[in-house]
Amino acid sequence: MSLSDPLKFFDVSGKVALITGASGAFGAVAAQVLAGAGCKLVLAGGNIEALDAVAKPLRENGTEVTTIYERPTDQEACEAMVDVTVETFGSVDILVVASGMNKVAKIGDMAPETFSQVMDVNVTQSWLLARAVSEQMVKQGDGGKIVLMSSARGLLGHPAGYTAYCASKSAVDGITKALGCELGPTGITVNAIAPTVFRSPLTAWMFEDTDEAKAVRSGFLTRVPKGRLGEPEDLAGPLLFLASKASDFYTGHILYADGGYTAG
């Protein structure tokens, strides 16, 4: 591939992408970005109505989309997602793990079962998906791209009851680094995107003009060199980079899409 035609490094047209948690905020962004870049998509999620709402406009714009109404709750579910992807499109080239959970409570108020649930959804299920997909990618012999979902909270703590979430995202970072090393010789890259606050249904209140939102936003932005909160578009470039040949020599890394939040 020639350096004189650099856009080809980002060409993912015709690639097959499996996206879990595709009805969530980042999952929907990933679906739109990869569909717009010409990928064939398998979208997985447990919320049927929300998943169909993501898939419908993509199909109307000509993207080949298959939906799986299931969460990656165990090994069998993860392997089934890979099987459906391969049976439908013949291969799986890209995995985006956008499924996840956050339960906020101070340590004295958080039930051990809640901590375990967050760790299972964010850590164990990411590991199971990477396991199932990497096995298929190794069989294919053409490498592949695995993109996990981390957070700035995997690197930094938080005073408001984030022990489970921070621990889970630190563990995702560990999986990313270890698996990046393990799969390096196969041509499969494993990386993670780690945003801070970006616009979504869960964070929409922080973007409002209420006194409460302004106070919270002002305090938060003192730590953000870019001086603003994130937008979905801020995740598009990092995702396309990690899903394309442009990142072939980039593995085991956590890419912070955070406006400089973790740099300070």
Q: How far, rounded to the nearest angstrom, does the alpha carbon of residue 22 sit from its chain's CA centroid?
A: 9
Residue 254: predicted pLDDT: 98
Residue 93: predicted pLDDT: 98
Residue 158: predicted pLDDT: 83
The pTM (predicted TM-score) of the whole model is: 0.95
Residue 98: predicted pLDDT: 95
165 is catalytic: yes
Residue 135: predicted pLDDT: 98
DSSP three-state, residue 46? coil
Tell the CATH superfamily of the 7-195+231-257 domain.
Answer: NAD(P)-binding Rossmann-like Domain (3.40.50.720)
Task: Please list the rounded mean pLDDT of every run of 10 residues in the chain (264 residues).
Answer: 87 98 95 98 97 98 98 98 98 96 94 97 98 98 97 89 95 98 98 92 86 89 92 94 98 96 88
Residue 2: predicted pLDDT: 78
Residue 256: predicted pLDDT: 97
Residue 206: predicted pLDDT: 86
Residue 66: predicted pLDDT: 98
Residue of 145, 177, 149 whose CA lies nearest to 243: 145
- Return the domain boundaries, the chain: 7-195+231-257, 203-229
* Catalytic residue chosen out of the listed positions 69, 162, 165, 261: 165
Separation between Cα atoms, residue 218 and residue 189, nearest integer Å = 37
